[in-house]
Amino acid sequence: MRRTGSIKNLANTEIGRITGRPDYLTVAATGRKWVSPSFILQASPPAPADYNADNKEIAAPARVGFTVSKKVGNAVKRSRARRRLKEAARIWFSEKAPAGWDYVIIGRTAAIDYPFEKMGADMRWALAKLASNADLKGSNRDRRPASRPVNKR
């Protein structure tokens, strides 16, 4: 994935920001996500262009983008949810997010008053699960349900 736009960082961290719509759409198109009560974390692994010339180390830092839809509430509630998610990401992404990955955090209604420590634990858990490809394991999208008989005509 080609990284576009200027590099913005979360306050005092090495985590970059996703600011352009094409980058949000690229992360969403990967289909990699982890759902928690207060947010949905979408992830996109590093592209080959993000590696150094020797293909061993990722040159680009992790980047994160935030979105909270109108379903969450009015502007005050959306802003509160976004601020809480940004602070959680600032604290926990700097130590847990693998370099080169792009993340989009979609705020849910519970983010407004969800306990902050629990939100942080959920964020660490989601990062670990996405990095270990746990969201790809056990996918039964292509399997036929066992309870449905197959019609032979």
pTM exceeds 0.85, yes or no: no
pLDDT per residue, tens digit, the chain (153 aa), is: 445 544 556 655 678 889 899 999 999 998 889 999 999 999 988 876 666 666 666 667 888 999 999 999 999 999 999 999 999 998 888 777 888 889 999 999 999 999 999 999 999 999 888 888 876 665 544 444 444 555 555
Question: What is the 3 state secondary structure string of the chain?
Answer: CCCCCCCCECCCCCCEECCCHHHHHHHHHCCEEEECCCEEEEEECCCHHHECCCCCCECCCCEEEEEECHHHCCHHHHHHHHHHHHHHHHHHHHHHCCCCCEEEEEECHHHHCCCHHHHHHHHHHHHHHHHCCCCCCCCCCCCCCCCCCCCCC
What pLDDT, on a 0 to 100 scale, did the predictor assign at position 144? 41
Residue with tokens 């370099």: 99
Domain boundary assignment for the chain: 16-131
For residues 135 and 132, what is the distance between their CA atoms, to the nearest angstrom?
8
Is CATH 3.40.50.2300 the classification given to domain 16-131? no
